[in-house]
Amino acid sequence: MANGELLIEVQGRTATVILNRPERRNSLSVSLLLALAEAFIDLEKNDTIRCIVLRGAGDKAFCAGMDLTALAENMPEELLSQITAKGPLQQAIEAMENCRLPVIGMIRGYALGAGCELTLGCDLRVGSEGCTMGMPPARLGIVYAPEGLARFIRNLGPAQAKKLFLTSRYITGREAYEMGLLHYVLPDDRLQPFTYELAEEIAGRAPLALAGIKRSLNILSKYSAPTEAEQAEINGLIEQAALSHDAREALSAFNEKRKPDFRGE
> Can you identify the CATH homologous superfamily of domain 6-203?
2-enoyl-CoA Hydratase; Chain A, domain 1 (3.90.226.10)
pLDDT, tens only, 124-162: 999 999 999 999 999 988 899 899 999 999 999 999 999
- Average pLDDT (59-87) is 69
Examine the pLDDT at 81 and tell me if it is beyond 70.
no
Chain centroid to Cα 233, Å, comes to 25
Examine the pLDDT at 76 and tell me if it is beyond 60.
no
Residue 72 vs residue 136, higher pLDDT: 136
Q: What are the start-end ranges of the H helices in the chain?
A: 30-43, 68-72, 77-84, 88-98, 114-120, 137-140, 146-156, 158-167, 173-179, 188-203, 207-220, 228-242, 245-256
Examine the pLDDT at 1 and tell me if it is beyond 50.
no
Q: What is the pTM of this model?
A: 0.87
Weakest mean pLDDT among 44-53, 199-208, 235-244: 235-244
Confidence of residue 85 (pLDDT cuts 50, 70, 90): low
Side chain identity, residue 213? I
Residue 85 vs residue 201, higher pLDDT: 201
pLDDT, tens only, 11-38: 999 999 999 999 999 999 999 999 999 9
Examine the pLDDT at 82 and tell me if it is beyond 70.
no
Q: How distant, in Å, are the alpha carbons of 72, 113, 253 from that of 147?
A: 23, 14, 27
